[in-house]
Amino acid sequence: MSNTEKALESSEDSRTTEVPTKPSFPEGGIKGWLTVLSGWCVMFNTFGYINAFGIYESYYKVTFLSNQSESNIAWIGSLQAFFMFSGGLISGPMMDRYGPKVILIPCSILFVASVMLTSLCTEYYQFILAQGVLGGLTNGLTYTPAVTAINQYFFQKRPIAMGIASSGSSLAGVIFPIALNRMLNKSSLGFGWSVRVLGFLMLALSIISCAVITSNAPKRKSGAPFLLAAWKQPEYYLQISGLFLVFWGLFVPFFYIPEYAESIGLSIDMSFYLIAILNAGSLFGRLSGGALANRIGRFNTLTGASIVCAILIFCWLRVTSQGGMVAFSVLFGFFSGTVIGLFPATIAMTASKPNEIGSYMGMALGVLSISTLTGTPISGAMINSYGSYHPAIIFAGVATIVGGAIIFGARAVFAGAKIAA
């Protein structure tokens, strides 16, 4: 055998025995924390905006869409949530291949345009197209890259980083209901300029998010856009199945608290403020949930918060006073905030490489989009059919508690007998 052949054989042997290097995560740094700031701004504009849809729904019911049923109006918000999640099917794989800025900049411009177009709407189909479809899709195209970029910078500190970033949506959920109530009902601005004011605020935050976001992972240059092998991992598909059911129930209070509050005799002002109170509780849930997850485990925290949300939804059946609604809103906001803040971190745990997180997130959000699309219209149809909120609340509670149990199954597969997982 010649020296050249020996050298080639030696090189091939070294390649076959080479052990893949473990992914490294900076766990911070200027770029890492600026990416968290970018994620905070994106969360403010995406989940925060959707969290306030209950205010829009209540306003549409007595103004532009008084001839539409609760179920029909709920389709606007459900479409918005659906496209926000399903947009990840596009932006997740793109994030792995091209990085965040190329996606964030054009989609942020289109999102602000959708808000401005919503301010001009007066007909049902116009709200469906501008707020539901365009607003939701551009939301999703910005949300997934922002969440993925944070997960690429952090591993040990990932729950805390995600908690800080997702607190942006909670703060938005406090600000939007109060601001909309003041502008719509206590000023001469009218609907158009009230929505445009929010649009200009979100434009400023979009500029910040696009300017400071970066990615720590090398771009994935080969392979299929969707990593279908993920669906062979029980810890992945069980978790997504559980989250599907949890999300079926989780958004029902966000959408129907204002109308329920009015049905038991609370004022319109108070019904609007309940969404702000719920999101204030969510703010603390997202921050403290991340810290707790670092102590007892991410799956444990997600499972526990989901079960508590289900219990609180069942308790909602007996709430008939202002004090009860305030207490329910605070507690449900806290624990639902923990769920929403943590689920991207538990999904990212199942990806073997940082530059696969975008695809894992995109596929998961694509499935969860069906849940957000159907959950609240199903609840709205129950309210219309039975003339009561109780069947819808029972549906939400059962879906959430079964989903929490399935997530616990994913935790058992992922960590076995390990206590902190």
**Tokens linked to 18:** 């080479």
Question: According to the model, what pLDDT value does residue 332 have?
Answer: 96
Residue 3 has pLDDT above 70, yes or no: no
Fold match between 26-216 and 226-420? Answer: yes
For residue 353, the tally of other CB atoms under 10 A from its CB is 15
DSSP state string for 113-141: HHHHHHTT--SHHHHIIIIIIIHHHHHHH
Higher pLDDT, 255 or 406: 406
Enumerate the domain spans of the chain.
26-216, 226-420
Mean pLDDT value of segment 385-399 = 93
Question: According to the model, what pLDDT value does residue 8 have?
Answer: 41
Mean pLDDT of the chain: 86
| pTM (2 d.p.) | 0.79
pLDDT tens digit sequence for 175-230: 888 888 888 878 888 899 999 999 999 999 999 999 999 988 777 776 667 788 88
Measured CA angle at 90 (ends 101, 411), to 5 deg: 100
User: What is the C-alpha to C-alpha distance for residues 403 and 336, in angstroms, rounded to an integer?
Assistant: 13
Write out the CATH class of domain 226-420. Answer: mainly alpha
Tell me yes or no: is domain 26-216 CATH 1.20.1250.20. Answer: yes
User: What is the C-alpha to C-alpha distance for residues 23 and 139, in angstroms, rounded to an integer?
Assistant: 29
**Tokens linked to 241:** 């199945």
Question: According to the model, what pLDDT value does residue 331 have?
Answer: 96
Which pLDDT band holds residue 94 (cuts at 50, 70, 90)? Answer: confident
Residue 19 has pLDDT above 60, yes or no: no
φ, ψ of residue 28 to 5 degrees: the values are: 140, -135
Taking only Cα atoms into account, the Rg of the chain, rounded to an integer number of angstroms, comes to: 22
Mean pLDDT value of segment 349-374 = 85
Amino acid residing at 122: T
User: What is the C-alpha to C-alpha distance for residues 260 and 93, in angstroms, rounded to an integer?
Assistant: 40
pLDDT tens digit sequence for 227-237: 888 889 999 99
Residue 52 has pLDDT above 80, yes or no: no
